[in-house]
């Protein structure tokens, strides 16, 4: 469930009066997603997604996210486009929350990505990186290496209740990654959360990318590392090098990686795995009483992290020498 804030029909109709979207025909809460409240709204003008931004999103970041979607769509990327109210702004307030309406994208996410899906996502990620090249706004990645120790502190020794020895392993990883986190690699706009649930397909072709609410300015190859983690492991925890190769080859067909980016890939993957292990761990250990949202399993990322600890070069991810 991800309807944290209920909205009455009258309140919604009054909100829609600020837009050129015709009359409201229906509004349904969307169960998927854990961060924000999402509704599918149907008006006489078509279908749209209404998002009410919940407490984990800093309202100061919303202009970045909304302008980014508009920018990327303007560069030909299929992503939601914020709809502007008659006053010219896309960001409004509804039920006491910051709120925006974006265009509806056709398609469905895949639960078990095949090699062909990994290839499609590699290409789309590279296109996103190129399209973001001239985006004027900046946003620091709060969940990069400097943000991981504070998360580890929040988990503390309770990490060991999830897996014996986990607190020590995290401490060791933090030491390695803080000392050797790659700097000086090409930077730009990254999605930072391009997981299978944020990518839509129509048949076998990728039809759109959603959920830009972790997007930020950071190392482009780190985004590749996030995708290798999210798309190329099997349910048993093993890395599927055929999927990795497909993702990387199609990425490189659009944006070739430099030697330095290739060399950094194992460390970037290790950092990305730690990032999702830590955020999942903190959520897992802090489920509010009565919460309806089930936290995601941190152990999945512990297994992935173990793989990256033994990876020695980009070849382990499927890149040719
Ligand atoms: N533009 C869109 N077009 C069609 N469906 C959408 C769109 N945006 C969101 N959705 C639907 O709403 C669901 C939740 O969206 P989203 O992933 O942005 O939510 P969230 O709360 O930020 O979730 P999380 O960060 O956990 O992925 C999606 O899985 C999708 O079904
Ligand atoms: N993609 C994240 C959730 C936040 O969007 C995860 O799977 O841990």
Question: Are 68 and 27 in a shared domain?
Answer: yes
For ligand 2, the distance from its centroid to the CA atom of residue 45, given in whole angstroms, is 32
Are residues 25 and 92 located together in one domain of the fold?
yes
57 and 135 housed in the same domain: no
Domain end, chosen from 80, 103, 126, is at 103
- Tokens 């093993």 belong to 238
Given 77, 103, 129, the domain boundary residue is 103
Residues 96 and 32 in one domain: yes
Q: Is residue 43 part of a domain?
A: yes
Task: Tell me, yes or no, whether 45 lies in a domain.
Answer: yes
Q: Choose the residue to mutate in 56, 198, 279 for probing ligand 2, maximizing ligand atoms within 8 Å of C-beta.
A: 279
Query: For ligand 1, what atom is nearest to the CA of residue 34?
Result: 26
Residue ID of nearest Cα to ligand 2 atom 8 = 276
ipTM of the complex: 0.94
Total H helices, total E strands in the chain: 9, 9
Closest CA to 24 of 34, 33, 37, 15: 15
Task: Specify burial of residue 54 (Cβ count, 10 A radius: 0-12, 13-18, 19+).
Answer: middle
User: Same domain for 195 and 309?
Assistant: yes
**Residue 133 resides in a domain:** yes
Q: Are residues 61 and 124 in the same domain?
A: no
The answer to whether the CB of 261 is under 6 A from ligand 1 is no
- Does some domain include residue 136? yes
CA of 64 to the centre of ligand 2 (A): 20
Cβ 75 vs Cβ 15: under 8 Å: no
pTM to 2 decimal places: 0.96
CATH code of residue 65: 3.30.200.20
Instruction: State the first-to-last Cα distance of the chain, in angstroms, to the nearest integer.
Output: 45
| Same domain? 131 vs 218 | yes
Nearest ligand to residue 194 Cα:
2
**What secondary structure letter does DSSP report for 50?**
E
Q: What residues make up the domain containing 95?
A: 9-103
Query: How many C-beta atoms lie closer than 10 Å to residue 246's C-beta?
Result: 25
Distance CA 255, CA 317 (A): 17
Q: Are residues 171 and 60 in the same domain?
A: no
| ∠ Cα 214 186 124 (to 5°) | 55
Using CB distances shorter than 6 Å, the residues near ligand 2 are 193, 195, 276, 279-280, 296
Q: Indicate the residue among 103, 126, 161 that finishes a domain.
A: 103
- Give yes or no: residues 87 and 141 share one domain: no
| 110 within some domain | no
- Tell me the two tokens of residue 312: 């020695």
Query: What confidence tens digit (pLDDT) does each residue in 270-294 have?
Result: 999 999 999 999 999 998 776 667 8
Helix (H, G, I), strand (E, B) or coil at 120: helix
Point out the ligand nearest to the CA of residue 211: 1
Q: Is 187 inside a domain boundary?
A: yes
User: What pLDDT score was predicted for residue 126?
Assistant: 98
Do 93 and 212 belong together in one domain?
A: no
Helix H or strand E segment including 76: none
**Other CB atoms within 10 A of residue 117 CB:** 22
pLDDT at 1 over 70: no
Ligand nearest, relative to CA of residue 230: 2
Residues 6+ apart with CB under 8 A from 130: 75, 254, 255
* CA dist 209 → 124, 152, 287 (Å): 8, 30, 29
Q: What is the pLDDT of residues 193-248, one digit of tens each?
A: 999 999 999 998 999 999 999 999 999 999 999 999 999 999 999 999 999 999 99
Number of compact structural domains in the chain? 2
The CATH number for 228's domain is 3.90.1200.10
Q: In sequence order, what DSSP letters do the residues of 255-288 get, joined into one string?
A: SPPPHHHHHHHHHHHHHHHHHHHHHHHHHHHTPP
Please give the Cα distance from 176 to 170 (Å, whole number): 10
Q: Which atom of ligand 1 is nearest to the CA of 38?
A: 12
Give me the pLDDT at residue 288, please: 75
Question: Is the beta carbon of 101 within 6 A of some atom in ligand 1?
Answer: no
Q: What is the largest CA-CA distance in the chain?
A: 62
Residues 41, 167, single domain; the answer is: no
Closest-approaching ligand to the CA atom of 198: 1
Same domain, 152 and 301: yes
What are the tokens at 182?
A: 């790659």
Cα(199) to centroid of ligand 1, in Å?
10
């Amino acid at each position: 469930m991800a309807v944290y804030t209920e909205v009455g029909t009258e309140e919604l109709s009054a909100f829609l009066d600020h837009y050129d979207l015709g009359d409201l025909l229906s509004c349904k809460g969307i169960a998927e997603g854990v961060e924000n409240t999402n509704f599918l709204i149907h008006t006489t003008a078509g279908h749209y997604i209404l998002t009410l931004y919940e407490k984990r999103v800093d309202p100061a970041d919303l202009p970045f996210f909304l302008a980014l979607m508009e920018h990327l769509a303007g560069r030909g990327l299929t992503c939601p486009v914020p709809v502007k109210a008659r006053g010219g702004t896309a960001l409004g307030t509804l039920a006491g929350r910051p709120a925006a309406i974006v265009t509806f994208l056709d398609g469905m996410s895949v639960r078990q990505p095949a090699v062909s899906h990994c290839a499609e996502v590699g290409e789309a990620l590279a296109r996103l990186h190129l399209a973001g090249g001239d985006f004027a706004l900046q946003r620091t990645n709060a969940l990069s290496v400097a943000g991981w120790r504070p998360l580890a502190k929040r988990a503390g020794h309770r990490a060991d209740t999830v897996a014996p020895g986990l607190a020590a392993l995290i401490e060791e990883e933090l030491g390695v990654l803080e000392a050797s986190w790659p700097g000086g690699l090409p930077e730009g706009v990254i999605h930072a959360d391009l997981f299978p649930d944020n990518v839509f397909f129509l048949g076998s072709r990728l039809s759109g990318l959603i959920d830009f609410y972790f997007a930020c300015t950071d190392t482009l190859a780190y985004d590749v590392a996030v995708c290798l983690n999210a798309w190329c492991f099997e349910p048993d925890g093993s890395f599927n090098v055929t999927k990795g190769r497909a993702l990387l080859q199609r990425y490189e067909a659009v944006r070739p990686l430099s030697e330095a980016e290739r060399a950094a890939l194992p460390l970037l993957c290790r950092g990305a795995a730690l990032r999702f292990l830590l955020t999942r761990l903190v959520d897992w250990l802090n489920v509010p009483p009565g919460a309806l949202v089930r936290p995601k399993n941190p152990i999945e990322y512990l297994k992935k992290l173990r793989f990256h600890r033994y990876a020695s070069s980009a070849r382990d991810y499927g890149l040719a020498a």
